[in-house]
Copies of this chain bind each other. A is one copy, B any other.
Amino acid sequence: MSSTATVTESTHFFPNEPQGPSIKTETIPGPKGKAAAEEMSKYHDISAVKFPVDYEKSIGNYLVDLDGNVLLDVYSQIATIPIGYNNPTLLKAAKSDEVATILMNRPALGNYPPKEWARVAYEGAIKYAPKGQKYVYFQMSGSDANEIAYKLAMLHHFNNKPRPTGDYTAEENESCLNNAAPGSPEVAVLSFRHSFHGRLFGSLSTTRSKPVHKLGMPAFPWPQADFPALKYPLEEHVEENAKEEQRCIDQVEQILTNHHCPVVACIIEPIQSEGGDNHASPDFFHKLQATLKKHDVKFIVDEVQTGVGSTGTLWAHEQWNLPYPPDMVTFSKKFQAAGIFYHDLALRPHAYQHFNTWMGDPFRAVQSRYILQEIQDKDLLNNVKSVGDFLYAGLEELARKHPGKINNLRGKGKGTFIAWDCESPAARDKFCADMRINGVNIGGCGVAAIRLRPMLVFQKHHAQILLKKIDELI
């Protein structure tokens, strides 16, 4: 690679990492991996298993499988591993008394929080909340975090309905137990074409990514708007893209004006991830926020996949410089804890209107504290920015070198949150398979896209390996 000479790195975050991938078997999984998966199939579905992993031996950016194959991992357990496999800080924390206590005496947080919970909630979440966000509700996963965001918007709408006595009416109390209005009213959440917000019944009603996610499931009749389909390179399609974004905003305006029932919230990903790494400009999000404000619709930013640094800022939406913070921001994946941030106490429902047994997994908030502290201590956001720029430049070069192979390269200036389109879905699938057997674990998304989701400890020397492998394979 011609870029090699430009790399200077003073520190390797994982000094004991392998020098690079090494592949020992003809297939991945190899014989031991296949045997392990076969054994698992006695007890559970293995239809989506790619290969079993030896997590004890995996380190930093490298996965080790059961046959001793060593793979550079730029997929990171579906974008959930933030600071490397077997990160020493986390392993040490795992053996602490604090962790043992909270793991094995898992409290029902809503009723009986542990004594140090204010500190954990602050140091494990609020301290790193997006600008303007003040409060947190923890949940178990991104999918249910999104659902709780919808519920808060719905409860706000419902609780603020004028009522003769101020209290809920007898009709409301009775009808809701029958799943009927007025107690269970028809209200809607707006989402965008190609979005992914989870696969529980409420979140699935806002997910619009692929039929396999939705077929056979009843869904709420909620509306969707188009997400901008931008053309690349951006600098060559400025006017066209601005027009496309305005078209989508106009659609949102239309929907909010005409929908047959109140739309109480709108959810959007800063970069549509499962749907194909689709981007929109800060201007689009400014206009979206203004339109939602005009219609009094709560603005939920789903940072489940974009959050925690991959785009070069802790939260992707911080790069928009919105005039007001979003009403709610949802998080999970690399945060390890999941939940929602919000800032307006008016959104907080009455006691027990939002409640469940565990109210999140308290251990995961302890873990978040260590993760986010490490991101700060190791200056990982700056690492992501510089490695992302380096990687993007290398991919631009490869795109020029191999015409038609790396299309619609996107994510410039968005850290390592980079994607491109292959020639076809089949070419994409083959590329992922070829990369794997050549020592790189890489993921796809959307119709024919490759998405890069390395960890925050992915460094230039890893990027060089990745670029070289891509160059060789296409």
Contact = CB atoms under 8 A, between A and B. Distances in A.
Contacts of A85: 105
Contact of A186 (B218, B332, B351): B218
Interface string A353-371: 1111110010100010000
Contacts of A141: 140, 144, 356-358
A51 B185 CA distance: 35
A312 interface: no
Q: Is the interface of A mostly helix, strand, loop or mixed?
A: loop
Interface in A105-120: 105-108, 110-115, 117-118
Interface in A85-100: 85-87, 90-91, 93-95, 97, 99-100
Contacts of A212: 350, 352-353
A57 to B, nearest CB: 9
A249 interface: no
A140 B137 contact: no
Nearest to A352: B212
A80 B95 contact: no
A49 B118 CA distance: 13
Contacts of A81: 105-106
A208 interface: yes
Interface in A225-244: none
A151 interface: yes
B100 A42 contact: no
A114 B154 CA distance: 40
Interface string A62-98: 0100100000000001101100011100110111010
Contacts of A320: none
A215 B353 contact: yes
Nearest to A126: B43
Contacts of A157: 216
A290 to B, nearest CB: 27
B215 A78 contact: no
